[in-house]
């Protein structure tokens, strides 16, 4: 039972779900533009579809054993691809959607990936925990209760990743700290942005 629950929590807490959900919710909470959350949701859906398509392609070509990219080389390749896509998404959020706060969040998400790549010899940073923690902190200035609930969910995600033996405790701590730093940076920097 606990393994099945851990799988469910890990799936629901996937980085392609947590951070995008927080971005859409944060956009809806801070703007009167009813179309803005929809634009963000469509952009996120396109991003997620691209990530999934590239992952499946790697598996079909025999370069990866599984779409979760668990092997070190697979993880590095995935993180490099995600880094490029997040950088492009940040530029598009700023130039096309004209949303500096979303652009900043995407740039900071790319920063989490840079940190994961640079420290890969030390740990297998949990991107699930990093992005869940970051997502929770994005909500804090707009909806503190939702932020607290999201932080509790981030803790549940950490438990699930440990229970599924996907990470060691240090990987989870590194992920939580990376997400915390990104969230605090977003809070500090977004105040200087135009509404």
CB-based contacts of 161, cutoff 8 Å, min separation 6: 6, 10, 126, 128, 129, 167, 171, 172
Any domain includes 32: yes
pLDDT(195) > 70: no
**pLDDT tens digits for 129-157?**
999 999 999 999 999 999 999 999 999 99
At residue 68, the pLDDT reads 75
pLDDT(60) > 90: yes
pLDDT(42) > 80: yes
pLDDT grade, residue 105 (50/70/90)? very high
Any domain includes 195: no
Any domain includes 152: yes
pTM of structure? 0.94
The CA angle 54-92-90, to the nearest 5 degrees, is 75
Estimate to the nearest angstrom the gap between the alpha carbon of 157 and the chain centroid: 13
How many separate domains does the chain show? 1
Any domain includes 153: yes
Any domain includes 138: yes
Any domain includes 106: yes
Which domain range does residue 154 map to? 2-189
At residue 132, the pLDDT reads 98
Any domain includes 194: no
What percentage of the chain reaches a pLDDT higher than 90? 78
Q: Kindly report the average pLDDT of the chain as a whole number.
A: 93
**pLDDT tens digits for 16-28?**
999 999 999 999 9
Any domain includes 104: yes
For residues 43 and 93, the answer to whether their CB atoms sit within 8 Å is yes
123 vs 130: CA distance, rounded Å: 13
**pLDDT tens digits for 156-191?**
999 999 999 999 999 999 999 999 999 999 999 998
């Amino acid at each position: 039972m606990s393994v099945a629950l851990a799988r469910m929590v890990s799936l629901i807490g996937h980085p392609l779900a947590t951070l995008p959900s927080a971005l859409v919710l944060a956009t809806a909470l801070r703007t009167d533009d009813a179309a803005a959350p929809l634009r963000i949701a469509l952009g996120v859906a396109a991003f997620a579809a691209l990530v999934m398509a590239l992952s499946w392609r790697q598996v079909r070509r025999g370069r990866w054993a599984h779409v979760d990219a668990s092997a070190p080389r697979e993880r590095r390749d995935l993180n490099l691809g995600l880094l490029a896509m997040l950088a492009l998404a940040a530029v598009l959020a700023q130039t096309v959607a004209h949303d500096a706060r979303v652009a900043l969040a995407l740039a900071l998400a790319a920063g989490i990936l840079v940190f994961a790549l640079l420290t890969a010899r030390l740990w297998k940073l949990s991107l699930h925990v990093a992005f869940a923690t970051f997502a929770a902190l994005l909500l804090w200035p707009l909806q503190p209760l939702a932020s607290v609930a999201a932080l509790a969910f981030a803790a549940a995600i950490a438990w699930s990743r440990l229970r599924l033996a996907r990470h060691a405790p240090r990987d989870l701590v590194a992920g939580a700290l990376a997400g915390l730093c990104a969230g605090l940076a977003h809070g500090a920097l977004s105040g200087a942005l135009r509404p």
